[in-house]
Amino acid sequence: MADASLFAIFMDGVFLKNFLVVQFLGLCSFVGVTKDVKSATGMSGAVVFVIAMSAIASYVLYTFILVPLKLEYLNTIAFIIVIAALVQLVEFILHRHVPALYRSLGIYLPLISTNCAVLGAVLINVLNEYDFLQSVTFGIAAGVGYTVAMLIMASIRERSNVLYVPKAVGRGVTYAFFIALIMSMSFANYFKVIPL
């Protein structure tokens, strides 16, 4: 671990280790929910909330229950239970308070529970032996990075709906993968040369 200051961890999570376009985690929502900015924003909000909450919950669970009992190897399954429960909680809240968003997210909302970005974030926390603040920071950073990538993707796709796209590039999902490719290259290269 080169630099463990909170700022470095945050920038790391948002740009250098961006979950969508650098680590390729949680791609199904990246292609599925980025047809318009509005639902991409809602999805990102839900994911930020879920990642941050699971970072907290998994840290508490790991440090105070699994480590003392020497059950570290249970981390994956325990985290999955926690994440699934949190997603269910978000679903309840959205259904009650933002029913329009609940409907527009549709199947992708329950899919957050199997979104590997969330599990990836909490597992990286454990792997890097982050303390509580670092874990939460990294969790939020992962969520923010997800949001950034989702919003860029959604904006591009929304605007390019009215553009001429060469037939060889294709439409719909094919085109989305093209955008993802270019975004991925720019993220991976552009942010590597800035010494954060």
- Residues in contact with another protein by the rule CB under 8 A: 61, 65-66, 69-71, 74, 77-78, 81-82, 84-85, 88-89, 92-93, 95-96, 99, 106
Which is closer to another protein, CB of 89 or CB of 182?
A: 89
Minimum distance of another protein from residue 147's CB (angstroms)? 24
CA-to-CA distance for 57 and 59, rounded, in angstroms? 5
Residues 6+ apart with CB under 8 A from 167: none
CA-to-CA distance for 192 and 173, rounded, in angstroms? 28
Which is closer to another protein, CB of 21 or CB of 82?
A: 82
Minimum distance of another protein from residue 104's CB (angstroms)? 11
Q: Which one-letter amino acid corresponds to residue 134? A: Q
Which is closer to another protein, CB of 73 or CB of 164?
A: 73
Contact at 8 Å (CB) between 102 and 94? Answer: yes
Minimum distance of another protein from residue 60's CB (angstroms)? 12
Q: Measure CA 12 to chain center.
A: 14
Which is closer to another protein, CB of 84 or CB of 148?
A: 84
Residue with tokens 């390729």: 24
Residues 6+ apart with CB under 8 A from 75: 58, 62, 66, 123, 126
Minimum distance of another protein from residue 82's CB (angstroms)? 7
